[in-house]
Amino acid sequence: MSYEDVSSRATALRQVVKLVQEASETLISEWESPAPDAVPASEMNFEIPGRKAYDAQRLIIAALGSIQELVIDPHHRLVDFAEQYFEVRALHVAMEHDVAILLSKGGEDGVHVEELAKATGLEQKKLARILRVLSTQHIFREIAPDRFANNRITQALVNDEKLQAQVKCSSLGFAAASALPEALNDPIRGPSYETKDAAWPLAVGTDLPFFEWMGQQVPRSRAADKASPGAARGLYEPVVASPGEELVPRDDTKLYNLYLAGNSKSLGSPHLYDFPWKDLGTGLIVDVGGGVGSFDLQLARLYPDLRFVVQDQQTMTEQGVSIWEKEYPEALESGRIQFIPHDFFKPNPVKGADIYWLRHVLHDWNDDDCVRILSNTAEAMSLDSRLLVADITLIETLGDPYIKAAPKPLLPNYGVHVHHGFSLDISMMALMNGKERTHAEFRKLFERAGLKMVRAWECRSILGIIECRLA
């Protein structure tokens, strides 16, 4: 609805306000007396609301977008949205200098910006302006003139290295986004879905696609080189090692791996509870493109009979072994978890596993590459094997036959609540010409690979689970 007349806009606003009031009471009730299906933060270090609370949360968040559409002057809304990238960049600055950690030392009394400036090396008045714009968005809080403290949001960063990596790593996408208009207008890059033609190489000034750049071993003296040169970008200086200099992974690669582990917690934790893993007993799960095995680490602790094989590039599997040696060494020692370097564009060496798990894999690749990955997986499957794809499933603003629509007058896909998925879709476009997909788009890929989609599991996350078997 366009809401061009006052009457229709007023009716819609009353409906939205009523929805928010009802959902708020439900959420408060769930806060005060959590449902049995809620998972406390003390158990997972990441709170998972019960289904009723989750539904109330997403309704309230979706309503925020509808309220903006209904009450804000169009000119103000467009200009405000267009300039939000400055606020994002301010957050990058705060994260680069570990401001949340510095503020935690001051507790409720906070820290004066003069002290923060000394610790970060940033000019005092400019730093205050950075923190003030973030505080206006409820990221940090200003408790006295030029004195800042953490709030509930930023305090979560203090002892969570993976969450820090998730926020810091967004600067990689920012670099690619800066070159996206240029890439889309290019006669070669614009229509291409090849990884080498994405905006990323253009932004960084390299001829290497994203994953090749991330997997490159570089001289130790160049490991700290950043992939987000921003406005200063130009031709990337070739990586040349001095005689005898050690080659190591990039710092950005380590950060990216931690980002993936953080995503596994924040986006993937509900998958631990919203799929019946217990029914698998001592089943074998092959995590294809599983990174450092962060999801499997959570799953292994909850279901002690399950067995795992994690497959990824060697740099990932080596880092995964080091993480498991620190966090769950007995699983490595017993052979319950194995890390196997594997290229998923080649036949999978592990045959007939109970579950083949692809989380956040297919969105990195174009359709033809996805079919290659899926076909290699299908060839390894037995008739009893299942493929589980955990990826963001885009729900169009008109709705989706697999998902119950939001109540009117909210957008059927819950609007702002799912905006992160659509944002990631543009991120995939810019970084490696990948994409997030709808259920219909997934079904076409599965059919091309000799698979059939048998069920869509709706989880308490923007990532769902799609279950497939051999066709």
Distance of CA 168 to the CA centre of its chain: 12
- In this structure, the answer to whether residues 139 and 283 fall within a common structural domain is no
> What's the confidence (pLDDT) of residue 231?
41
**How far is 129 from 89, CA to CA, in rounded Å?**
12
What CATH number corresponds to the domain at position 121?
Answer: 1.10.10.10
Contact criterion met (CB below 8 Å) for 320 and 291: yes
Half-sphere exposure of residue 399: CA atoms within 13 angstroms, side-chain side: 11
Asked if residue 228 and residue 116 are part of one domain, the reply reads: no
Instruction: Record the pTM.
Output: 0.85
Residue 211 lies in a domain: yes
Instruction: Please check whether residues 226 and 324 belong to one and the same domain.
Output: no
Is 17 inside any structural domain? no
Task: Tell whether the model's pLDDT for residue 98 goes beyond 90.
Answer: yes
Do 463 and 338 belong to one domain? Answer: yes
Among candidate residues 97, 342, 363, 417, the one labeled active-site is 363
Please state the rounded mean pLDDT for residues 59-63.
Answer: 96
Q: Which of 155, 182, 198 is the last residue of a domain?
A: 155
Residue 415 neighbours by CB under 8 Å, 6+ apart: 62, 65, 66, 397, 406
Mean pLDDT throughout 244-261?
82
Please write the tens of the pLDDT for every residue from 171-196. Answer: 888 888 989 999 999 999 999 999 99
Q: How confident is the model at residue 383 (pLDDT cuts 50, 70, 90)?
A: very high
Please check whether residue 410 lies inside any domain of the structure.
no
Rounded CA Rg of the chain: 23
374 with 450, same domain: the answer is yes
Q: How far apart are CA 255 and CA 161, in angstroms?
A: 10
Residue at a domain's end among 230, 256, 282:
256
Q: Based on the fold, state whether residues 88 and 127 are members of the same structural domain.
A: yes
Asked if residue 420 belongs to a domain, the reply is no
Q: Residue 211 contacts by C-beta under 8 Å, 6 or more apart in sequence? A: 195, 364, 432
Q: Nearest Cα to 295, choosing from 55, 40, 46, 49?
A: 46
What mean pLDDT value characterizes the chain? 90
240 and 371 inside one domain:
no
pLDDT (tens digit, 9 = 90+) per residue, 191-242? 999 999 999 988 888 888 998 888 888 888 878 777 654 444 455 566 676 7
Tell me, yes or no, whether 1 lies in a domain.
no
Q: What is the reported pLDDT for 264?
A: 67
Give yes or no for a contact between 467 and 385, defined as CB atoms under 8 angstroms apart: no
Instruction: Tell me the CA end-to-end span of the chain in Å, nearest whole number.
Output: 41
Say whether both 144 and 280 belong to one domain. Answer: no
Could you give the CA distance from residue 114 to residue 128 in angstroms, rounded to a whole number? 9
pLDDT above 90: residue 401: no
Pick from 39-48, 123-132, 139-148, 325-334: least confident: 39-48
Q: Are strands 386-392 and 463-470 parallel, antiparallel or unpaired?
A: antiparallel
CATH classification of the domain holding 336: 3.40.50.150
Whether residue 276 contacts residue 354, with contact meaning beta carbons closer than 8 Å, is answered with no
Into how many domains does the chain fold? 3
Note whether 189 and 331 are same-domain residues. Answer: no
- Per-residue confidence at 243, pLDDT binned at 50, 70, 90? confident
Q: Do 185 and 124 lie in a common domain?
A: no
Is 363 annotated as catalytic? yes
Judge whether 334 lies within some domain: yes
Sorted by sequence, the CB contacts under 8 Å of residue 63 that are 6+ apart come out as: 16, 19, 20, 23, 410
Domain stop point among 155, 182, 200: 155
> Quick one: 145 and 234 in the same domain?
no
Which domain range does residue 298 map to? 267-393+437-470
Whether the pLDDT of residue 462 is over 50: the answer is: yes
CA 359 to chain centre: 11
pLDDT interval class at 106 (50, 70, 90): very high
Q: Does residue 309 share a domain with residue 219?
A: no
CA distance 220 to 218: 6
Beta bridge partners of 104: none
- Give a yes or no: residue 20 inside a domain: no
For residue 352, tell me if it sits in a domain: yes
